[in-house]
Structure 1
Amino acid sequence: MTAPKRPQILVTGAAGTLAQKVIAQLRETCDLVAVDFREQVWLGDDIPSYCIDFNKRVFEDLFRRFHFDGVIHLGRIMSSQENRLRRYNANVLGTQKLLDLSHKYNVRRVIILSTFHVYGAVPFNPALIDEEAPLKAAGLTMDLVDSVELENLANIYLWRYPHLNITVLRPCNIVGPGVRNTISTLLSGERAPVLAGFSPMMQFIHIDDMADALVATWRHKQKGIYNVAPDDWVAYQRALELCGCRQVPIPSIPPLLPRTLLRVLSLKRFPPYLMDFYKYPVIIDGRAFKRDFGFYPQRSLDDIFHYYRENKHPV
């Protein structure tokens, strides 16, 4: 009796810790191909790995060769990385190329990792932001335009090509071992800036739970747009305290002053365009994802903060 064909999946962003955790969970049941435009990573003899720019013609050769059943797109450049033009080319034009090739070569499942930053941080955000809320980030800063446009693009393909079965995930702050985003860098440091008079509530999801969420998304085949977040949250200054960080108060007005002080204090890992996220809460509602995918985070805030408290310079 012939064994059933294993799904062939393309995983982008393979140099990232999150992608490697997803690959580790799926390699026993799926045939995987790893791609990253930054570097080629070795993931074992059983997983072909490539360093390819999505906008180059050679990228299409992978679709011809491997006949992918699914794509898990984790190759988004974060807002704290690279310049605006490079982020736009990779996040928007690169994703458009990926979706066009997925349509052309009859891919049956596409998962795209987005971010809660697309909602924007404003004083009048509701207590819980659901998936129907407007994406305000592009109107607040040019540095998040590519994140919003990536989502708009995915939404167009979601409805235009239903056979792609696209699912877009908007997670809260992803943290934990190996994560190098802005909030993880702050939690892992000996000192961290706080804006005087502000300590917004924040949500955190452990990178292992986020990998579990992506694997659950692959297995359940439910398309749509989903927030991914736990049911609990904590004030930013309290999170720093629990992580053993010394707080560095920064005046919040006039707007130019905190940027100048951050530069003088060499706190470069605090991008000015994310500053409002450290003033106003952006608490997202993850109940729809839990309902449709049966997902519940297994790592608590205590687990997260204990790691940063004991590892001030995570690898």
Structure 2
Amino acid sequence: MTTPKRPHILVTGAAGALAQQVIDQLRDTCDLVAVDFREQVYLGDDIPSYCIDFNKRVFEDLFRRYQFDGVIHLGRIQSSQLTRMRRYNANVLGTQKLLDLSHKYGIKRVVVLSTYHVYGAVAYNPALIDESAPLKAAGLSADLVDSVELENLANIYLWRYPDLNITILRPCNIVGPGVRNTMSTLLASERAPVLAGFSPMMQFIHIDDMADAIVLAYKKPVRGVFNVAPQDWVAYQHALRLCGCKRIPIPSIPPVVPSLILRTLNMRRFPSYLMAFFKYPVVIDGRAFAREFDFKPRRPLQEIFRFYRNNKSPV
């Protein structure tokens, strides 16, 4: 009796905590190759790891050498990282190269990580945003253009090349141990800024649950775009209280004032577009993903906030 062939999967963004969680879940049943645009990471002798610019010719060598069955693309560079041009090259041109190679080498499964930020934060957002809502972020902030273009690109390939079986995931705020995004930094701080007079509803998903969602999505080849979020939400200022943060009210106008105060708090990597997300609610509807993939988060908000309350670090 022959042993079934283990699927060979390329995982991008390997330096991130989320990618490493996904790798840990898949390593016993799949042969994995890890790559990252920023740095090379050691993930064990059984997992080859590379630091590669997706736009370089050497990236194609990996597809020839390993004959991948699938790709899990978690390597989106956040707006707080790199310059705008380098971020565009990595997020948009790099993703295009990745999808072109996936089509060229007959990949049968692709999962792409996007973000709920693509919806944009505006006063007239619906109370619950589903996947059919327009992506307004690019018109609101130049810092989000590459995020919207990355997803538009993935959508084009989703319909042009159905054999790729592309699934695009738009998660809410990913938080928890090892997460280094702006929201996690705020929840972990002793003091955090709030816009005076504003406390929008927000959603949070634990990194463990997001890793579960990605693995579920990969294993069930359903094409399309899905929000990923729990069906509960909490006001931002209340979340800070539950995390033990001292709230620092700052005026929302004139626009230069928040950035000056944030610099005073040594938060140099605070993306300016996030100001709108601390003013207007962006609550996404994750029910379609939950139904299709039988997904239910295991980590409640109380556990998330307890972690940050017990693991404070100065900003």
Asked if TM exceeds 0.5, the reply is yes
2:189 is the alignment partner of 1:178: no
Paired position in structure 2 for 1:140 = 140
- Alignment-derived partner of residue 11 in structure 1: 11
**Could you tell me how far 1:40 is from its partner in structure 2?**
1.0
CA deviation after TM superposition for structure 1 residue 223, in Å: 1.1
Q: Distance in 2 between matches of 1:41 and 1:264?
A: 33
Are 1:149 and 2:149 counterparts?
Answer: yes
Listed as ranges, the gaps of 5+ residues in structure 2 are: none
Change (3 A) 1:41 1:265: closer
Moved >4 Å (runs of 4+): none
Cα displacement (A) at 1:257: 1.9
User: Which ranges of structure 1 fall in alignment gaps of 5 or more residues?
Assistant: none
- TM-superposed CA distance for 1:2, in Å, is 0.6
The more displaced of 197-206 and 217-226 is 217-226
Aligned-residue offset at 1:271: 2.1
Partners in 1 of 2:167 and 2:210 — Cα distance?
15
- State the 1:260 CA deviation: 2.2
Partner of 1:283: 283
- 2:84 — aligned with what? 84
Alpha-carbon spacing, 1:43–1:267, altered in 2? closer, same or farther (3 Å): closer
Per the alignment, residue 234 of structure 2 pairs with: 234
Q: Give RMSD over aligned pairs.
A: 1.0
Q: Which residue of 1 aligns with 2:205?
A: 205
What per-residue deviation string (whole Å, max 9, x for no partner) do you get for residues 182-232 of structure 1?
A: 100000001000000000000000000000000000111111000000000
1:170 CA drift (Å): 0.2
Instruction: Normalising by structure 2, report the TM-score.
Output: 0.98
Equivalent positions of 1:156-175 (< 5 A) are 156-175=156-175
Identical-residue share of aligned pairs (%)? 77
SS for the counterpart of 1:272 is: coil
Aligned runs of 1:23-172 on 2, under 5 Å? Answer: 23-172=23-172
* Distance in 2 separating the partners of 1:6 and 1:251: 56
Indicate if the aligned counterparts of 1:74 and 1:112 stay in contact, CA closer than 8 A. Answer: yes
Q: CA deviation at 1:38?
A: 1.1
In structure 2, distance between residues paired with 1:257 and 1:47: 47
Matched, 1:268 2:268: yes
Q: Rate the CA distance shift 1:24–1:265 in 2: closer, same or farther, 3 A.
A: closer
| Distance in 1 (alpha carbons) for counterparts of 2:273 and 2:118 | 12
* CA distance in structure 2 between the partners assigned to 1:265 and 1:44 by the alignment: 38
Q: TM-score, normalised by structure 1?
A: 0.98
Partners in 1 of 2:23 and 2:227 — Cα distance?
Answer: 22
How far the C-alpha of 1:133 sits from its partner, in A, is 0.2
Give, as a single letter, the amino acid of the residue that structure 1 aligns with 2:208.
D
Q: Aligned to 1:298, what secondary structure does the other structure show? A: coil
The aligned amino acid for 1:86 is R
Q: Provide the residue aligned with 1:304 in structure 2.
A: 304
Deviation for aligned residue 1:59 = 0.2
Q: Contact (CA 8 Å) 1:186, 1:269: kept in 2 or not?
A: no
Hey, what's the Cα distance between the residues in 2 that align with 1:299 and 1:279?
A: 26
Shift of 1:283: 0.1
How far, CA to CA, are the matches of 1:223 and 1:28 in structure 2?
A: 25
Tell me the number of residue pairs that the alignment of Structure 1 and Structure 2 aligns.
314
Alpha-carbon distance, 1:86 to partner: 1.0
Maintained 8 Å contact 1:194/1:237: yes
- For residues 89-148 of structure 1, the C-alpha deviation after alignment (integer angstroms, 9 at most, x for no partner) is 000000000000000000000000000000000000000000000000000010000000
Match of 2:292 in 1: 292
- Please say if residues 230 and 286 of structure 1, whose CA atoms lie closer than 8 Å, have aligned partners that are also in contact: yes
User: Is contact 1:185-1:269 (8 Å) kept?
Assistant: no
Measured after TM superposition, the shift of residue 35 of structure 1 is: 0.5
* 3-state secondary structure, aligned to 2:32: strand
